[in-house]
Amino acid sequence: MTTPSSLARLDGKVALVTGGGTGIGAAVARLFAQVGATVVVAGRRSAPIEAIAAEIGGVAHSADVSDAADVAALFGKIEARFGRLDVLVNNAGGPGPIAPVAEVDMGEWVRCAQINLFGAMHCLQHAARMMTAQRSGSIINMSSLMGIEGYPMRSAYVATKFALVGITETLARELGPSGVRVNALLPGAVRGENMAAILARRAAAEGRPAEEIERAAYTDVAALKRWVEPEEVARAALYYASDLSSAITGDKMKVDCGRF
């Protein structure tokens, strides 16, 4: 008998989590392993991904998603070892420059696009080929609340995350006939090192205390009056990865503690 708990399992599935060494990626890797998946943890830095992989009994592969050759090698290793890929969590990314558009460093702007957008596309191309061939799979693109709302001084990040929502809807239509689902998550302000670094950079750029920016821009404006925890985003990722969402594709879900 199929039960809700069994639908949420990933037993026998192979899942790739990019940017899996810290934050949301690490939380996703841990949860997916707990529900039975074999998790490939990918990232640019070896030490964090190897630590997570050792903790969960997964596999670590170093890869810079902005480098097409790195991504090709990563997927080649997955195919050689497992012969399939059931879930891709396209999570690798960076915050990009924090500056007014008239002053933004365009080198940093382009670098943000290379990681957040082109890096995601490198992974999507390989995942689409593998999943189309096996006629099954779930792809989860990690967009952001800033993928549906513009935000001052974050033009690069906003542009890449808006683009990921459009790509999600496009690929859902392209890959649906092959049984492959494609959805996007839109996290809000997630507690962790990345958010702490953004706060510090905003404080420097705006000349305001980080605590004041935290309250005014992130926590007080949320209905639940708090940060999102990485584990809460991971649970939403599991919903899209598992058969709990078997009829859902081309969707986007906010995980933002009610910042509407």
Domains of the chain, by residue range, sit at 4-190+229-255
User: What's the confidence (pLDDT) of residue 218?
Assistant: 87
pLDDT of amino acid 244? 97
Q: Quick one: pLDDT at residue 197? A: 83
Rg for the chain, CA atoms, rounded? 18
**Which residue is it, tokens 């998603």?**
65
Identify the CA nearest to 116 among candidates 159, 155, 83. 159
Q: What is the pLDDT of residue 1?
A: 56
DSSP annotation of 243: G
Give the pLDDT score at 216.
85
- Look at residue 103 in the predicted model and tell me its pLDDT: 96
Neighbours of 101 (CB within 10 A): 10
Which residues are annotated as catalytic? 157
CATH architecture, domain 4-190+229-255? 3-Layer(aba) Sandwich (3.40)
Side chain identity, residue 6: S
CA-based nearest residue to 13, from 63, 123, 88 = 88
pLDDT along the chain (260 residues), means of 10: 82 98 97 98 97 98 97 98 98 94 97 98 98 98 97 95 98 98 96 83 86 87 94 98 98 94
Q: What are phi and psi of 131, to 5 degrees?
A: -75, -35
C-alpha 43/C-alpha 53 separation (Å) is 11
Nearest alpha carbon to residue 257 among 92, 168, 94, 145: 145
